[in-house]
Amino acid sequence: MATLQVEGSLFWMTPDGDVAVGYHGVSGTRVDLDDDLGYDSAVTVAGGQVVVGDVHQVGLEVNRLSVSEEARVTRMIRFYDKIYPGSTLVESSLDMTLVKAFYRFSPGTSLARGGYMIGMQYVSAEVEASASGVGSARGDVESPMPFIGVYFLSYPLPFLGFQATACGSKWDLGDVSAS
């Protein structure tokens, strides 16, 4: 029997990795989100998902992340059409929306289920940097990202459920240009 699940989610993550935003064929400086821009704190991510099916399920999930930091850069950074000299206090922000469509194989009972999932995630991100005396610059990135994963779901009580999901993907936007 097919079921319809509508879920809300709230989780915490720490942005990690690096980003470079160039301008008209000129590469931007690759900066580390933690070391260069100060993104070292956990941020709240809100979202929700709709899943239809029983053992074979299809679903749609949407998550939204918005974070900003202020840090003194230790080296010259080219970001879009601006150059921020070393020792400049730079405010930066990252706004990201992730839309995930997936298929999930979900064998199990009404108390516990687990299985694998595959799908496509669409990433839309806006990054911005600004500093007094230099100005502000903004870049947008949109990209599809295939993924695979596993998950476990348990309902110990009729009104309380726990879900754990681990997904992975190779996401390298090296050939994707920002506008």
* Domain contains 152: yes
In a domain? residue 173: no
Instruction: Please write the tens of the pLDDT for every residue from 15-59.
Output: 887 877 878 778 888 888 888 888 888 888 999 999 999 999 999
Q: pLDDT tens digits for 121-139?
A: 998 989 899 999 999 998 8
Tell me which DSSP letter residue 26 carries: B
Question: Is position 13 within any domain?
Answer: yes
List strand residue ranges (DSSP E) for the chain, in order: 3-13, 18-19, 31-32, 43-53, 56-72, 77-79, 82-84, 89-105, 112-131, 135-157, 160-168
Return the higher-pLDDT residue of 149 and 27.
149
| Distance (Å, whole) CA 122 – CA 140 | 13
* Range(s) of the domain holding residue 32: 3-165
Q: Is residue 139 assigned to a domain?
A: yes
CA separation, residue 40 to residues 17, 29, 43, 83 (Å)? 11, 20, 9, 23
179 assigned to some structural domain: no
Q: What is the rounded average pLDDT of the residues 100-105? A: 97
| Higher-scoring residue by pLDDT: 171, 12 | 12
pLDDT at 10: 85
Is residue 84 in a domain?
yes
Report the alpha-carbon distance of residue 99 to residue 79 in Å, rounded: 26
Predicted pLDDT of residue 161: 83
The arrangement of strands across the sheet holding 89-105 comes to 3-13, 43-53, 56-72, 89-105, 112-131, 135-157, 160-168
- Count of domains observed in the chain: 1
- Whether residue 172 is contained in a domain is answered as no
User: CA 106, CA 117: separation in Å to the nearest integer?
Assistant: 9
Q: How far apart are CA 7 and CA 59, in angstroms?
A: 11
Give 157's pLDDT tier (boundaries 50, 70, 90): confident
Tell whether 158 is covered by a domain. Answer: yes
Radius of gyration in angstroms for the set of CA atoms belonging to the chain, rounded to a whole number: 20
CB 33 within 8 A of CB 39: yes
Specify the higher pLDDT residue, 149 or 35.
149
